[in-house]
C-alpha cells in the first residue's frame, strides 16, 4: 500500500466539517493528522467528530513533522496570509475557492508557493463532477459544433441566517457580508465554480466583460443580484444572471450553445441536442443523459492532489487556474463599479 498524504486542516468551519473532512477520510491516498481553527469549540468539535488531534494555533499545524499538506478553509481574505505562511513552512497547499479576494493576493500566493517549491491547488471541485466530465467529453467530440454561447444562471434564495452563519450555523461570523473579507457576493462565492468549469469544458477564454450588479434586498456590502456579459476568444458570448435574493429560488440553469446543438445542465442530468451522427446520442432530438446517483467530486479533488504530490507533478487545478477564474469575476466587478467594459488579458 502506498503512503497516504498527511494533511493538516486550517479552518474547521462549515465546508471543512461537512464536506472536505469526509472526502479526505473516504479517499484512497490522504488522511488528516490535525485540525486547527482559531475558535476553540470549532476546533474541538471537529477533532472529536473526525478523531484527530485539534488546536487553535496555526503553528501547531505548520511545525507538525507529519503534516505534508494543508487544506485552507478560511474566509477569503485569509487565503493569502495562510497560504504564504504554509508555503514558507514547506507545506503543500490545497486552498478553498476562490483563490483570494484580489488578483494581487492571488499573485503573492502563487509566487510564495513557487519560491518554496510546494504545490498550490484551488478547490474548484465542480470540475470533477460526473456532469462536467460528460459535458467535456461531448464538447470534445463535437456534439454542439462551434460554441457560440455560454449561459450561467444561478437564482438562489439565501436565508438571512446565511450571512451570519452559512447554511448550517456552525460558525457565527460576518465575513460573507463584507466586501473586503469575501471579495463579493454570489458571483465570487457561487458563480466562480460554473465559470471555471465552463473554461475547463470548452477551453474558451473570456476577453472582455460588461456587468451591472447591485444589492437590492440584503443588508450586506456585497451584491445580491448581478448580470454580466462576456465575449470569448472564439467570438462566443457568455451571459450571467445570478442572485442570492431570488425569492423562491430556482435550480441552477447553465447551458452551452453551439452551431450544431446545445447542452443543458439540469440537476441530475444533462439534456443534449445534437445534429451530429456518431456521438452516441440520437441526432436531431433532445437526449437525456442521466448522471450517477452518487458523485464524489471533492474526494476526486483530494485524491488527484495527493497523486500530484506523490508523483511530483503539477496539480490539475494549480493556483494559476484559480487566478484565471478569479480574473473573470474581478473583471465583472470592475465593470459594474465603473459602468464600463473591461478587457481581460489573454495569458
Ligand X SMILES: NC(=O)c1ccc[n+]([C@@H]2O[C@H](COP(=O)([O-])OP(=O)(O)OC[C@H]3O[C@@H](n4cnc5c(N)ncnc54)[C@H](O)[C@@H]3O)[C@@H](O)[C@H]2O)c1
Q: Which residues bind ligand X (CB under 6 A)?
A: 10-16, 36-39, 42, 58, 73-76, 78, 96-97, 123, 125, 166, 170-171, 173, 189
If the CB atoms of residues 110 and 143 are measured against ligand X, the closer one turns out to be 110
User: How near is the Cβ of 150 to ligand X at its closest, in Å?
Assistant: 20
Task: Tell me the C-alpha distance between 93 and 86, whole Å.
Answer: 7
Q: Which is nearer to ligand X, 160 or 285 (CB)?
A: 160
For ligand X, give the closer residue by CB, 179 or 208.
179
Closest approach, Cβ 273 to ligand X, in A, equals 29
| Contact of 296 with 26, CB cutoff 8 Å | yes
Q: How far is CA 288 from each of CA 102, 223, 275, 285, 302, rounded to the nearest angstrom?
A: 39, 35, 15, 10, 30
Nearer to ligand X, 95 or 306 (CB): 95
Supply the DSSP symbol for 279. S
| Minimum distance from residue 293 beta carbon to ligand X (Å) | 20
Residue given cell 511545525 in the structure block: 63
Q: Collect all residues with Cβ–Cβ distance below 8 Å to 7 and sequence separation of at least 6.
A: 24, 30, 31, 32, 33, 67, 68, 69, 70, 71, 94
Q: Pick from 290, 295, 258, 291: which is nearest to 274 by CA? A: 258
| Grid cell in block for residue 256 | 452551452
Q: How many CA atoms lie within 13 A of 324 on its CB side?
A: 22
In angstroms, what is the minimal distance from the CB of 14 to ligand X?
3
Least separation in angstroms between CB 284 and ligand X: 37
State the minimum distance, in angstroms, from the CB of residue 163 to ligand X. Answer: 11
- Which of 106, 143 has the CB closer to ligand X? 106
Question: Rg of the Cα trace of the chain?
Answer: 20
Residue whose CB is nearest to ligand X in the complex, by number = 13
Measured from the Cβ of residue 289, the count of other Cβ atoms closer than 10 Å reads 17
Nearer of residues 128 and 232 to ligand X, judged by Cβ: 128
Cα–Cα distance, 79 to 255 (Å, whole number): 31
Q: What is the sign, positive or negative, of the torsion defined by CA atoms of 195, 191, 241, 207?
A: negative
Task: Choose between 113 and 342: whose C-beta lies nearer to ligand X.
Answer: 113
Helix/strand/coil for 305? helix
**Min dist. Cβ of residue 10 to ligand X (A):** 5
Amino acid at each position: 500500500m502506498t503512503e497516504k498524504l498527511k494533511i493538516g486542516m486550517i479552518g474547521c468551519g462549515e465546508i471543512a466539517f461537512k464536506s472536505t473532512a469526509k472526502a479526505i477520510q473516504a479517499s484512497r491516498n490522504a488522511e488528516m493528522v490535525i485540525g486547527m481553527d482559531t475558535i476553540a469549540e470549532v476546533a474541538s468539535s471537529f477533532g472529536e467528530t473526525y478523531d484527530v488531534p485539534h488546536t487553535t494555533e496555526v503553528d501547531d499545524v505548520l511545525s507538525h513533522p507529519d503534516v505534508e499538506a494543508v487544506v485552507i478553509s478560511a474566509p477569503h481574505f485569509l487565503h493569502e496570509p495562510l497560504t504564504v505562511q504554509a508555503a514558507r513552512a514547506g507545506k503543500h497547499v490545497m486552498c478553498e475557492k476562490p483563490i483570494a479576494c484580489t488578483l494581487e493576493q492571488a499573485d503573492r500566493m502563487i509566487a510564495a508557493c513557487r519560491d518554496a517549491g510546494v504545490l498550490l491547488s484551488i478547490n474548484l471541485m465542480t470540475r470533477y463532477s460526473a456532469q462536467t466530465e460528460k459535458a467535456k467529453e461531448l464538447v470534445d467530440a463535437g456534439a454542439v459544433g462551434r460554441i457560440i454561447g455560454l449561459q450561467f444562471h444561478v437564482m438562489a434564495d439565501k436565508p438571512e441566517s446565511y450571512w451570519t452563519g452559512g447554511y448550517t450555523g456552525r460558525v457565527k461570523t460576518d465575513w460573507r457580508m463584507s466586501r473586503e473579507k469575501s471579495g463579493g457576493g454570489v458571483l465570487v462565492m457561487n458563480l466562480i465554480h460554473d465559470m471555471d468549469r465552463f473554461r475547463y469544458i470548452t477551453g474558451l477564454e473570456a476577453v472582455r466583460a460588461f456587468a451591472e450588479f447591485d444589492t437590492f434586498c440584503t443588508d450586506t456590502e456585497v451584491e445580491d443580484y448581478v448580470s454580466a456579459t462576456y465575449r470569448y476568444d472564439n467570438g462566443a458570448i457568455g451571459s450571467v444572471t445570478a442572485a442570492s435574493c431570488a425569492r423562491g429560488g430556482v435550480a441552477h440553469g447553465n447551458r452551452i450553445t453551439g452551431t450544431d446543438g446545445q447542452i443543458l445542465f439540469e440537476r441530475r442530468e444533462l439534456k443534449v441536442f445534437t445534429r451530429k451522427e456518431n456521438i452516441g446520442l440520437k441526432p436531431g432530438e433532445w437526449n437525456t443523459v442521466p448522471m450517477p446517483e452518487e458523485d464524489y467530486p471533492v474526494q476526486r479533488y483530494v485524491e488527484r492532489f495527493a497523486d500530484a504530490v506523490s508523483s511530483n507533478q503539477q496539480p490539475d487545478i494549480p493556483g494559476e487556474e484559480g487566478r484565471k477564474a478569479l480574473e473573470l469575476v474581478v473583471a465583472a466587478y470592475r465593470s459594474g463599479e465603473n459602468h464600463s467594459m473591461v478587457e481581460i488579458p489573454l495569458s
